[in-house]
Structure formats: C-alpha cells, structure tokens
Copies of this chain bind each other. A is one copy, B any other.
Amino acid sequence: MGLKQSTSKAAAKPREAAAPSGSQTLLRGLDVLEAAASGVIGLADLAARLELTRSTAHRLASVLVERRYLAFAPREGYTLGPKLLELGFSARQQMNIIRIAAPHLEALSVATEDTVHLGVQEGALALYLDKIPGRRRVEIGSRVGERQPLTTTGLGKALILDESEERWHELFMADLGARASENAFRIWLKRMRAYARDGHAFDLEENEDRIRCVSAPIREAGGRIAASISLSSAAQYMSDSRMEQLAKEVKATTAAISRELGWRGDPPRA
C-alpha cells in the first residue's frame, strides 16, 4: 500500500490531537471531497494538492462519482455532486432548531432587510447553522457550517451570556491569544456585563470590519441557551439608535423561538 504517507504525514502537520489512527482510505476520500468543495478541480491538480498519485486520486474520485458525491465533467474536472445536496438537506432536517427557527428568521429578515444568522455553540466556537441574506447589497463573509470565535462575534457573545466571568476570561484569552491585553479584557468585560443584563449583545466591527451585528440568545425548556441569532449589516446602516431598536425585534424573535422550544420563563430580568 502507501509508502510515503508515514513520512509526509508525520513530518508535515502535527494537527490537533494528532490522530494518525484509523482509516487512511476514508480520510483521503474525504480530503478529495473537500478539495472539490472549493471549486471545480481536475485530476492532476487534485493529485498534486493532496499529494497522492494519479492512480489513487482517480480511484477515490471515481468511487465518489459513482456514489454521486462528486460530479465529473470530462475535460473540466470534479465538482460536488447531488448526494451532498441531499445529505445537506437531511442534515438540516435533523437539527430541529433550524426547522423551528427558519420561518422566524425569514420574517425577521424581511422586516429588517438585513442578514440573519442562526448558530449554536460547538466546543469553544460558534457554529453557523443557517444564513438568510438580507435585501441590501452587503456581503457578509460567513458560511453555513463554518465556525467563528465566541467572544468577537455577535452570535457568539449571545451564546455565552450566561457563563461565569471566569469562563468569559478563559474564552477571551483563548480567542484573542497573544493579542489580548488585560486592559482590552476589562473593556470587553464591561460591555459583556451590560449585554448579560439586557439579554442581547452587539458586535461593533470587532470580528469583521465595517460589519455590525445585534444578537440575542434562544433558550430551550429549562432556560439553557441552546442557540442564538444575529442580525448583521454594514455599519452605515447600523446607527446606535437603530441597533437599540433592532435589539427589541431580535429579542421578540428569539422569544418566539424559545417559546416553541418549551421555554416559558421570563426574559432574564426586566
């Protein structure tokens, strides 16, 4: 079987947890899939990018084509196949938060004309589950399935509103790393306290330049924060007064979704 994988892999990337355990063929197959996610890619490029021989790349890709995970156009290359449409659709169906929230997000997007995101916490990151582009011609650089820091995004801040200040500190340091001064944390902490009190959060161009967000948490039965939504737009549309106004609308939306999830409690403080 393979020869140079042991050398190249051990030497090249000491990824997190470094799990060389397991199924090389499956891992390589997934690599092929993901290589095609970034756009059409020919066999030669594919093999080069993944450091596989043409034979191996071809064999793996052929299996994926046969199973409809990839589509192949003879002189063009490989693209993602219809099976991924299907599985993506099924994945959405399985996350009931997405199903339940969808109509509410849609309504909020129509009412405000801005981009709406839905997300949950996954590990120490915020995972984007859904995105409804606004009517304005502002591109928000986010992709469904992607993860972003918890402490520098509106979505993320709303997810950790209930955490202790110790935990906040941990997360802040983890996200900002070396760039985090104690002073920067104090400013951020002060804001977070206000957000926690008010039950909503803002993002003032911290994560992405010229983009401001308003966000709020969704609570499930029992009160735990299960998800959050954010409303994003270019700073020019996001005056302080409009953000305060939007906060009310966002909270009305999260309240409605929370109610569907069985949360009957009052919004935290009044």
Within the complex, which residue of B23, B79, B84, B90 is in contact with A29, where a contact is CB–CB below 8 Å? B23
User: How far apart sit A40 and B39, CA to CA, in the bound complex (Å)?
Assistant: 31
Shortest CB distance A77–B (Å): 11
Task: Tell me the number of copies of this protein.
Answer: 2
A231 within 8 A of B: no
Contacts of A9 in B (CB 8 A): none
Q: Considering the complex, which residues of chain A in the window 1-55 have a beta carbon less than 8 Å from any beta carbon of chain B? A: 17, 19, 22-30, 33-34, 37-40
Q: Enumerate the 8 nearest inter-chain pairs by beta-carbon distance, A residue then B residue, closest first.
A: A88-B88, A86-B145, A25-B25, A80-B91, A26-B29, A85-B145, A84-B91, A89-B144
User: How far apart sit A144 and B24, CA to CA, in the bound complex (Å)?
Assistant: 31
User: How far apart sit A6 and B155, CA to CA, in the bound complex (Å)?
Assistant: 51
Residues of A participating in the B interface, judged by any CB pair closer than 8 Å = 17, 19, 22-30, 33-34, 37-40, 59-60, 62-64, 66-67, 69, 79-92, 94, 122, 127, 129, 143-146
Within the complex, which residue of B19, B33, B88 is in contact with A85, where a contact is CB–CB below 8 Å? B88
Which of A26, A33, A62 gathers the greatest number of chain B CB atoms within 10 Å? A26
Contacts of A33 in B (CB 8 A): 87
CB pair A86–B143 under 8 Å, yes or no, is: yes
**Known A-B contacts A19-B66, A63-B22; A94 and B82 likewise in contact (beta carbons under 8 Å):** no
CB pair B87–A84 under 8 Å, yes or no, is: yes
CB pair A85–B81 under 8 Å, yes or no, is: no
Within the complex, which residue of B34, B63, B94 is in contact with A27, where a contact is CB–CB below 8 Å? B63
Within the complex, which residue of B30, B64, B80 is in contact with A90, where a contact is CB–CB below 8 Å? B80
CB pair B94–A144 under 8 Å, yes or no, is: no
Within the complex, which residue of B59, B79, B94 is in contact with A23, where a contact is CB–CB below 8 Å? B59
User: How far apart sit A127 and B85, CA to CA, in the bound complex (Å)?
Assistant: 11
Which of A64, A91, A143 gathers the greatest number of chain B CB atoms within 10 Å? A91
Contacts of A40 in B (CB 8 A): 94
5 CB contacts below 8 A, A to B, read: A23-B60, A27-B63, A86-B145, A87-B145, A88-B92
User: How far apart sit A161 and B71, CA to CA, in the bound complex (Å)?
Assistant: 25
Contacts of A34 in B (CB 8 A): 87
User: How far apart sit A197 and B64, CA to CA, in the bound complex (Å)?
Assistant: 40
Contacts of A19 in B (CB 8 A): 66
CB pair A60–B26 under 8 Å, yes or no, is: yes
Contacts of A146 in B (CB 8 A): 86
Contacts of A129 in B (CB 8 A): 82, 85
CB pair A23–B144 under 8 Å, yes or no, is: no
Closest to A37 in B: B90
CB pair A63–B94 under 8 Å, yes or no, is: no
CB pair B127–A82 under 8 Å, yes or no, is: yes
